[in-house]
Amino acid sequence: MDRQSRCFGQYGRPYLVRPVNLPQRNPYEGAPIVLQGNAASYSQPIHQSRRRNSFDSGIQSYYSRPASVMSRTTSVSETIQQEQIQIDLDMSVWDFYDKVRQKTLSCEKMRLNGYPMMGAENVVVIHPTKYEKDKHIWALTDDRECLRCHKMFSFHDMQGCDSHVHVTNQMPISVKSEFVETPPALSKHDPRSNKVYAVDCEMVYTMNGLELARFTMTNFNDEVELDLYVKPAGAILDLNTQHSGITMLDLEKTVETLETCRHQLFQFINSETILVGHSLESDLKALRLVHPNVVDTAIIFAENGRKQRLCHLSEHFLRRTIQLPGDGHNSKEDSQTTYNLLKYFISKQLFSSS
Ligand SMILES: [Zn+2]
């Protein structure tokens, strides 16, 4: 135990964390590196951490730990540092990719969780989730049910919302033709194939439903590969700035469109690339993208099928407070957080199998 410290895993079971002074290797280069996003960047002032309410009752019971256990938990910075280094132990780019690949969703799980999939004659199919079984994903007319007040409204008459303005996440049936598949690998040596990226999108409400307004993709080292503001194609109903963090100025300044965004994305990924996200189906729907290799942190951290919010998982496992009320979401922060949750999960799994 002199070179090992005790930490606590996802389900409250104690497990051992390897010593922190072992060589670090970048899974993308195979050479020693200094990891970005070091412990200091995760430290939160106590008063800030306390601004968010404690977990809801579900997550409280799910992740609750005895007080005696909490008191023995290592400090925030120590825990994060240990977890990140644990991930790098004796792990090549292929090992990391293979570990993550084991957590990719099966076709059936993708279908049940509402991921866009390519159906017959290259027409996208989105299966309603258990929460959407009475909803229509595709709209055949201009009539919609408002997500906020649940009244039916028409784009010809937007008056009468009980809560701000009417909004919808239903897509016109014509949007089906906007969906594309991620291109395949050019060869077995395609350098995009063995990569794992985290992605997160911010969306705004338009007449086309939820449309992409910001796209961020980060890598293993918390580095931003892409961070683009994107002009939506449809008329904007609500920027939803409180949650999306998107302002009109952001959209006025950018020249990017969905097509240019995807074009840049495909410089980094092919169909073999693993994309990680939290409820990634929403992001892929906004990207109008069918991608076969996905890891969903909302699913791998779910208990009894119950998904938890990213901010709760972050606070609990990473001791990092994100998405504070009034701050809106930040796709860069959310993307990095998602990747770190995946690394946390993999590091735990590594130890369990060793
Ligand atoms: Zn309404």
Q: What is the pLDDT of residues 68-125, one digit of tens each?
A: 322 323 333 334 444 443 445 356 777 888 889 999 999 999 999 999 999 988 899 9
Residue with tokens 């023995």: 72
22: pLDDT strictly greater than 50: no
Q: Please state the pTM of the whole predicted model.
A: 0.76
Assess if residue 205 is contained within a domain: yes
Assess if residue 125 is contained within a domain: yes
Mean pLDDT of the region 207-221: 95
pLDDT of residue 132: 75
- 304: alpha, beta or left? (left if phi > 0; alpha if psi -120 to 50): left
More confident residue, 64 or 66: 64
What spacing in Å lies between the alpha carbon of 151 and ligand 1's midpoint? 6
What spacing in Å lies between the alpha carbon of 257 and ligand 1's midpoint? 28
Assess if residue 346 is contained within a domain: yes
Q: What share of the chain is helix, strand, coil (3-state, %, to 5)?
A: 35, 20, 45
pLDDT of residue 281: 97
40 vs 319: CA distance, rounded Å: 12
Mean pLDDT of the region 154-158: 88
The residues, any chain, with a CB within 8 Å of residue 213's CB and separated by 6 or more, are 201, 202, 203, 204, 229, 230, 232, 239, 244, 246, 250, 251
User: In degrees rounded to 5, what are phi and psi of residue 180?
Assistant: -130, 160
pLDDT of residue 90: 57
Assess if residue 24 is contained within a domain: no
Flag the least confident range among 29-33, 96-100, 133-137: 29-33
Assess if residue 25 is contained within a domain: no
What spacing in Å lies between the alpha carbon of 153 and ligand 1's midpoint? 8
Q: What band does 328 get if pLDDT is binned at 50, 70 and 90?
A: low
Count of domains for the chain: 1
pLDDT of residue 211: 97
Mean pLDDT of the region 24-45: 31
What spacing in Å lies between the alpha carbon of 135 and ligand 1's midpoint? 16
What spacing in Å lies between the alpha carbon of 145 and ligand 1's midpoint? 8
Structural domain including 328 reads: 101-135+170-353
What spacing in Å lies between the alpha carbon of 144 and ligand 1's midpoint? 10
136: pLDDT strictly greater than 60: yes
What spacing in Å lies between the alpha carbon of 325 and ligand 1's midpoint? 22
Flag the least confident range among 49-53, 81-85, 165-169: 49-53
What spacing in Å lies between the alpha carbon of 52 and ligand 1's midpoint? 28
Assess if residue 270 is contained within a domain: yes
What spacing in Å lies between the alpha carbon of 170 and ligand 1's midpoint? 14
What spacing in Å lies between the alpha carbon of 1 and ligand 1's midpoint? 60
9: pLDDT strictly greater than 80: no
What spacing in Å lies between the alpha carbon of 264 and ligand 1's midpoint? 36
What spacing in Å lies between the alpha carbon of 160 and ligand 1's midpoint? 7
187: pLDDT strictly greater than 60: yes
CATH number at residue 207: 3.30.420.10
Q: CB 37: neighbour CB atoms within 10 A?
A: 18
Assess if residue 322 is contained within a domain: yes
What spacing in Å lies between the alpha carbon of 154 and ligand 1's midpoint? 11
Assess if residue 74 is contained within a domain: no
More confident residue, 23 or 195: 195
What spacing in Å lies between the alpha carbon of 203 and ligand 1's midpoint? 18
Provide DSSP, 48-97.
HHTTSPPPPHHHHHHH---HHHHHHSPPHHHHHHHHHHHHHTT--HHHHH
What spacing in Å lies between the alpha carbon of 175 and ligand 1's midpoint? 22
More confident residue, 317 or 293: 293
What spacing in Å lies between the alpha carbon of 232 and ligand 1's midpoint? 21
pLDDT of residue 326: 65
What spacing in Å lies between the alpha carbon of 17 and ligand 1's midpoint? 50
